[in-house]
Structure 1
Amino acid sequence: MTTTPDTGEYALKRARLQAILEARNTSTLVLTSPGVLGWLFGGARVQVSLVGEPVLAAVVRRDGNDTVPIFMNERARFEDEELPLGLPLVSVPWDAPLLAPLRSTFGDEILRENEVAGELQAARAALVPAEVDRYRRLCREVAALMSTVLAGVRPDDTERQVAARLAGGLVALGADPLVVLAAGRDRLSYRHPLPTTGPIGAVAMVVVCARRQGLIANVTRWIRFTPATAEEEDVQRRLFEVEHAFFAATRPGAVLSDVFAAGTAAYAEQGFAADEWTRHHQGGPTGYNGRDPRAGASADGLVVSHQAFAWNPNVPGAKVEDTVLVGNGDPEVLSVAADWPTLTVSGLARPLVREQ
């Protein structure tokens, strides 16, 4: 049987929501998205279909009279395996609207998620110690899996075969394979290469976003079967310096838009096109959403200690991405595998393209 989440962790997060209600002078907050519910309930698997809506919601009340509407056919499993003990569940018929109890129980003074999106992002930004422990384990295991699976790849393997091995391995780890990308040499110009029946060939990029207990590990790795040219090695080295610019700016108290500006400015500084960053997103905070939010020039959130990030600077034919944890100095790289070749860049070990 799955161990239910810790009630102490729930209480810490519930207090953050209480602060939002008090600041807004509002009685009720309704939470309905997978990322927010997964965060509040300690990584509970709130969806059945990975592309479906959650099968429960959270109605958080300023007076403490919270309720958790849940479809009746899901209730027993959630009580036994998914939710912190003692939550006030309200069964809803499977063929009725999930939030039907709101109509008769609460008045019109209700905040929806989209009305407090920024406050909710800030509330879940700083990971509590139990979350950090879960994240470290997940990222370490995902990185090790990628190392093991990619070690067995051969040039005539298809992109889909490689993706299938990774997806199966992630499920065996108890993780949801939210994103599995694979690109052989002929498709490296695509920034989001969904796998095809084409062969991996001489050079390949593989990307994984894996969710377990709500948290998402984001990792990119490269393999090759022919020696890199001097030009390819130079591109990789310069891209690491772009990544370092993002890392160096990602410090507690920094405004996210300023971090983004520092990182994107590094493209020109490292000899890439000044507008290279406009051709694909650069990543940003992560955790219970793949990017939470995706960083950009208008992102006004503050970086906080114990916040997770996944920057992914990229140019045609090169990309680097790991999940890291912010502290007061250099970030802690969570998605590391001891047997993957690395290059030390400003004190951090960064993943090289592995030759096989």
Structure 2
Amino acid sequence: MTTSFDEHRLKRDRVEGLLTERGADSLTLTSPGALSWLLAGARVQVSLVGDPVVAAVLRRGGDDEIRVFGNERARIEAEELPHGLTVTSPRWDQPLLAEPTRASPAALREADVAFELQDLRASLLDVEIDRYRLLCQEVTAMLGAALESARPDHTERSLAARLAGGIVALGADPLVVLVAGRERLGFPHPLPTESPLGDLAMAVVCARRGGLIANVTRWIRFRPATNEEGDAQARLLAVEADFFAATKPGALLSDVFAASTAAYAAHGLAPDTWERHHQGGPTGYNGRDPRATATTSNIVRADQAFAWNPNAPGVKLEDTVIVRADGAVDVLSVDPGWPSAEVHGLTRPAIREQ
């Protein structure tokens, strides 16, 4: 059984390799994603929009130091950190880290190696994939239950409140909760309002637990689909299948992006559809790690998590998946109770009619 300390050591070994490669003496980690990855899913923030209350100073050969504000130390050590780490604590009114010095390039900051750290995080360990799968399954089931009970006269905010509460009840952080009723489906990121759901609605959640972020989008309809809606859904499913087909270990993310965005025109949608909203990309300890573009030079890795979100007017798809070494796509956020269709051997969500 892999313990949190085992997980930490395996990741620490990856960092040691980076330090050796760069000829550096130390690396300081300060972002929520990097810290939570290193510390086996530890919660390192109090305010979800605030800076972490933890920092890590990793030194080549060992003698690492986990810095935690003194007023947070008891809880962080008892509930979050792997055992066996060296923790030091400045007082709450003092800086978490000493003022950085740039006298020597041997002392790296996170920003100096941001690209390399994305690559270190890319291939998930088996224990991380297990943790991720359970989170995605629970979040997707909660989302399905909340949508099943929704009604056309319910407001976007009332549905969002249920979704946010459901995420917290799962022991997760509601990082993103979006709801769009019929009147607001044209907005790429529809923060919920008092508008009613109407006859067609979309819900998007991004929920973080154990450091990992589940990304899921689902739709409900309160009337039969029109021919145009059914056609748009079928075309976007074909676009998504091309996204998955292009996402192979060893491929440049920029090449994956180019092949995938070209799929819109290939499947009868406007060629510039992809320009209207971002298309997703690698995920895991950050919502997108990084967001894919035509210039993203990261390489797809085996056992890497992705959350592509192809979208067109009135339709959007999003699930959290793992890309395996052989290129197979392992969908983590499958809800057996949700209506679905088989597309190129994968179970893909349909729009629920109720």
With the shorter chain as reference, the TM-score category is over 0.9
- From 146, 149, 157, the equivalent of 2:154 is 157
Deviation digits for residues 178-204 of structure 1, max 9, x if unmatched? 000000011001110000000001000
CA pair 74-42 structure 1, distance change in 2 beyond 3 A: same
The equivalent residue for 2:198 is: 201
SS in 2 for 1:100: coil
- From 48, 51, 64, the equivalent of 1:50 is 48
* Unmatched runs of 5 consecutive residues or more in structure 1: none
Determine if the alignment matches structure 1 residue 117 to structure 2 residue 114.
yes
How far the C-alpha of 1:63 sits from its partner, in A, is 2.7
Give the percent of matched residue pairs that are identical in Structure 1 and Structure 2.
62
> Could you tell me whether the CA contact under 8 Å between 1:69 and 1:101 is conserved in 2?
no
Amino acid at match of 1:34: P
Tell me whether 314-323 or 326-335 shows the greater mean CA deviation.
326-335
Q: Distance in 1 between matches of 2:100 and 2:126?
A: 34
> Could you tell me whether the CA contact under 8 Å between 1:72 and 1:93 is conserved in 2?
yes
> Could you tell me whether the CA contact under 8 Å between 2:37 and 2:211 is conserved in 1?
yes
How far the C-alpha of 1:239 sits from its partner, in A, is 0.2
Amino acid at match of 1:158: T
The equivalent residue for 1:216 is: 213
Deviation digits for residues 112-149 of structure 1, max 9, x if unmatched? 11110110000010001110000000000011001111
- From 172, 179, 183, the equivalent of 1:182 is 179
How far the C-alpha of 1:293 sits from its partner, in A, is 0.2
Map 1:291-330 → 2, pairs under 5 A: 291-327=288-324, 328-330=326-328
Q: Distance in 2 between matches of 1:102 and 1:184?
A: 48
How far the C-alpha of 1:290 sits from its partner, in A, is 0.3
Amino acid at match of 1:219: V
Count of aligned residue pairs for this structure pair: 351
Determine if the alignment matches structure 1 residue 268 to structure 2 residue 265.
yes
The equivalent residue for 1:234 is: 231
Determine if the alignment matches structure 1 residue 92 to structure 2 residue 90.
yes
> Could you tell me whether the CA contact under 8 Å between 2:56 and 2:67 is conserved in 1?
yes
Amino acid at match of 1:354: R
Q: Distance in 1 between matches of 2:104 and 2:22?
A: 16
- From 170, 175, 178, the equivalent of 1:173 is 170
How far the C-alpha of 1:102 sits from its partner, in A, is 6.7
Runs of 4+ in 1 over 4 A off after TM superposition: none
Map 1:252-267 → 2, pairs under 5 A: 252-267=249-264
CA pair 101-275 structure 1, distance change in 2 beyond 3 A: closer
RMSD between superposed Cα atoms in Å: 1.4
> Could you tell me whether the CA contact under 8 Å between 2:53 and 2:68 is conserved in 1?
yes
Q: Distance in 2 between matches of 1:322 and 1:307?
A: 14
How far the C-alpha of 1:251 sits from its partner, in A, is 0.9
SS in 2 for 1:344: strand
Determine if the alignment matches structure 1 residue 77 to structure 2 residue 59.
no
- From 25, 28, 33, the equivalent of 2:26 is 28
Q: Distance in 2 between matches of 1:101 and 1:65?
A: 20
Amino acid at match of 1:317: G
Determine if the alignment matches structure 1 residue 16 to structure 2 residue 5.
no
Determine if the alignment matches structure 1 residue 191 to structure 2 residue 192.
no
* Unmatched runs of 5 consecutive residues or more in structure 2: none
> Could you tell me whether the CA contact under 8 Å between 1:5 and 1:82 is conserved in 2?
no
How far the C-alpha of 1:34 sits from its partner, in A, is 0.2
Amino acid at match of 1:201: G
Amino acid at match of 1:268: A
> Could you tell me whether the CA contact under 8 Å between 2:247 and 2:327 is conserved in 1?
no
TM norm structure 1: 0.96
Determine if the alignment matches structure 1 residue 278 to structure 2 residue 270.
no
CA pair 218-28 structure 1, distance change in 2 beyond 3 A: same
CA pair 351-28 structure 1, distance change in 2 beyond 3 A: same
Q: Distance in 2 between matches of 1:226 and 1:33?
A: 45
Amino acid at match of 2:330: E
Q: Distance in 2 between matches of 1:317 and 1:257?
A: 27
TM norm structure 2: 0.97
> Could you tell me whether the CA contact under 8 Å between 2:31 and 2:52 is conserved in 1?
yes
Q: Distance in 2 between matches of 1:6 and 1:330?
A: 28
How far the C-alpha of 1:108 sits from its partner, in A, is 6.8
Amino acid at match of 2:280: G
Amino acid at match of 1:136: R
Amino acid at match of 1:273: A
Q: Distance in 2 between matches of 1:242 and 1:115?
A: 36
Tell me whether 174-183 or 59-68 shows the greater mean CA deviation.
59-68
SS in 1 for 2:234: helix
Q: Distance in 2 between matches of 1:101 and 1:89?
A: 19
SS in 1 for 2:54: coil
SS in 2 for 1:75: helix
- From 128, 132, 148, the equivalent of 1:131 is 128
